[in-house]
Amino acid sequence: MTGPEPSRADGAPLIRIRDLRKIYVMGADEVHALDGVSLDIAKGEYVAVMGPSGSGKSTLMNVIGCLDTPTSGSYQLRGTEIREREDDELARIRNQEIGFIFQTFNLLPRADALHNVELPLIYSGTPAKERRDRARDLLAQVGLADRMHHRPNELSGGQRQRVAIARALVNRPSIVLADEPTGNLDSKTGVEIMALLAEINGRGNTVILVTHEEDIAAHARRVIRLRDGLIESDRAQAPRPAAPHAVPATPAAPS
């Protein structure tokens, strides 16, 4: 699997955020969830966004994931300003550019693993056969070749998260956005999932990890800490090496 195609604007970072603000009005109060955040993320980075609850990390993730639009400031994804986009365009950007991984997996309970992975491809209008082939391929890559037709309630937590990861990757997004991906898993399974994310990053995918656990953030190569809607620190680090046995032995598929 290759990473996303090169940015249209040469030399521009994948993500370029300038003085980003998000203000929620709750009754008479204004809540400044983001109070002037600026940052760049380049293609292929592995970034952890950290901070206590209320620090604005969820809001930042929502904005980066195009689920939410900022009140002011600029967010450019691959050179495109997101703030000016219509609802349907945002939906398409989420579909093509963002792969979400959630703490609670968010699989459709009545659909089997294969169909869950196919879902983003349905919304991009991919023909059924290609959908199935790609979903199968991705499930094999996350080590679930023999679980394609299991429903979520027939899978363990770790397996469910693997399905979700396959789903996040199936449309070859620019960014994989993982929100507390190990929050609902035991620590051993959590380690496996983190190893899988490291492997995905190793193949050239940009991974942004939102977490409040130092242990988890330690897997990233860069840690951005937020407090009260502002960046408190932003530094590179040597990632903790992934446990090699946890990585599925399937080779990366050429695409």
Partner 1 sequence: MTGPARTRREFWAAQGENLKIALDAIRANKLRSVLTVLGNVVAVMSVIMVVAVIDGVNTYVGEKILEQGLQVVYIDKFGLITNDDAFREAEKRRDLTLREARALETRMRLASRVVAQVEASKRVRAGRNELANVTVRGTTAGYEEVGNFEVVEGRHLDPSDVDRRRPVAVVGSEVASALYPRVDPIGQRLKVAGQELLVIGVLKAKGNVLGQSQDNLVLTTLGQYDKMFGAHRSLTITVKAQPGVPLERVEDEARVVLRSERHVPLGKPDDFGISTAETFRALYQSLTGGIFAGTIALVAISLVVGGIVIMNIMLVAVTERTREIGLRKALGARRSDLTGQFLSEAVVLSTFGGVLGVAAGISFALFIRAVTPLPASIQPWSVLISLGVASSVGLFFGVYPATRAAQLDPIAALRQE
Applying CB under 8 A, which residues contact partner 1?
62, 65, 67-68, 77-78, 80, 85, 87-89, 91-98, 100, 102, 106, 108, 110-111, 119-120, 122-128, 167, 171
| Residue among 62 and 141 whose Cβ is closer to partner 1 | 62
| Residue among 108 and 145 whose Cβ is closer to partner 1 | 108
| Residue among 122 and 252 whose Cβ is closer to partner 1 | 122
Please give the Cα distance from 33 to 31 (Å, whole number).
6
222 has which bridge partners? 47, 236
| Residue among 161 and 246 whose Cβ is closer to partner 1 | 161
For residue 127, the minimal CB distance to partner 1 (Å) is 7
What angle, 0 to 180 degrees and rounded to 10, lies between the N-to-C axes of helices 87-97 and 113-123?
Answer: 130
For residue 18, the minimal CB distance to partner 1 (Å) is 19
For residue 120, the minimal CB distance to partner 1 (Å) is 5
Q: What's the burial of 153, exposed, middle or buried (CB within 10 Å: 0-12/13-18/19+)?
A: exposed
Q: What's the burial of 186, exposed, middle or buried (CB within 10 Å: 0-12/13-18/19+)?
A: exposed
| Residue among 79 and 252 whose Cβ is closer to partner 1 | 79
| Residue among 29 and 87 whose Cβ is closer to partner 1 | 87
Please give the Cα distance from 4 to 196 (Å, whole number).
18
* Residue at 226: amino acid letter: L
Please give the Cα distance from 174 to 183 (Å, whole number).
24
Which tokens belong to 255? 């695409």
For residue 13, the minimal CB distance to partner 1 (Å) is 15
For residue 191, the minimal CB distance to partner 1 (Å) is 26
| DSSP element (H, E) containing 234 | strand 230-236
For residue 67, the minimal CB distance to partner 1 (Å) is 5
* Residue at 57: amino acid letter: K
Which tokens belong to 9? 């604007």
